[in-house]
Amino acid sequence: MRTRVLVAAATGALALTALAVPAAQADGGSGDTRITKVVVDGDNKVTIGTGSAKTFSVSVTATDDSGILGAESFDLRGPGYGYESTGRPTCKKVSATTSTCTASVKIDPRTDYLDNAMAGTWYVGVWIDAKDGDYLWKDKAGSFKFQRGSAVTTNASPEPVKKGRTLTVTGKLSRANWETLKYGAYSGQSVQLQYLKKGTKAYTVLKTVKSSSTGSLSTTVKAGADGYYRYVFAGNSASGAITSVSDFVDVK
């Protein structure tokens, strides 16, 4: 039996107490148990803001010729930090040899003492037991992006505007500061300005704008027809993707 190096929260939520964690244990196992898939929150991205709790799932698919007996709590490891998911995962049989084991994790930035340095690539450690006594431990069975929430706004003016005249589209890009529980300016980031002509279904990219030192966005375009403008930030390993609410402009 392995020794736990992670700490579970007494309240049942994910333990996020910014504790340093010893070096990860080496992979190991016995028999032919294999992990074939790891999915975190559906797309392997977990984005946390500042104002509310987020519950997400960690699902691990494993196979063994005798079938899967169960899994231990999943270990989540970030840059310099490590935490243990709550409860024993529930395993659902996919076939005689394969099962998918899932556990839910709840993170609340208001009570879990998140540190901005936690953002980035995280790994999922998994221990799987098979029905014939085989087992498998993988320290990095899968990975996901643990991201700070982002926010972006869009405002096009003047409204209405005459056809052919210059339209100024401004906005602001910000992201969550987990340490202050507020959103702050996110500078030096590339953000797309997209446009949807009224009566059509697909947005087109007009320009790529870089956010200023205060997170501000600003560019100009020629008004051609009634339509919707929006700023779109694609995100990165440490910050979540975000699309602003569209601003409709009436062209006379």
pLDDT in tens, 46-88: 999 999 999 999 999 999 999 999 999 999 988 877 677 777 8
Residues 115, 120: Cα–Cα separation, whole Å = 11
> What pLDDT score does 25 carry?
58
Percent of all residues in the chain with a pLDDT value above 70, rounded to a whole number: 89
Whether 209 has a pLDDT exceeding 90, the answer reads: yes
Q: How high is the pLDDT of residue 35? A: 98
Prior bond of 158 cis (ω within 30°): yes
SS (H, E, C) 146-180: EEECEEECCEEECCCECCCCEEEEEEEEEEEECCC
Question: Strand (E) positions, 85-119?
Answer: 90-93, 98-107
| Window from 17-21, 166-170, 209-213 with minimum mean pLDDT | 17-21
Q: Please name the amino acid found at residue 74.
A: F
Q: pLDDT band at 113, cuts 50/70/90?
A: confident
What does the mean pLDDT of the chain come to?
89
Enumerate residues 6+ apart whose C-beta is below 8 A from 238.
Answer: 119, 120, 145, 147, 148
pLDDT of residue 137: 96
Reported pTM: 0.86
Backbone angles phi, psi at 236, to 5 degrees: -155, -170
Strands 120-130 and 68-71 turn out to be antiparallel
User: pLDDT value at position 150?
Assistant: 98
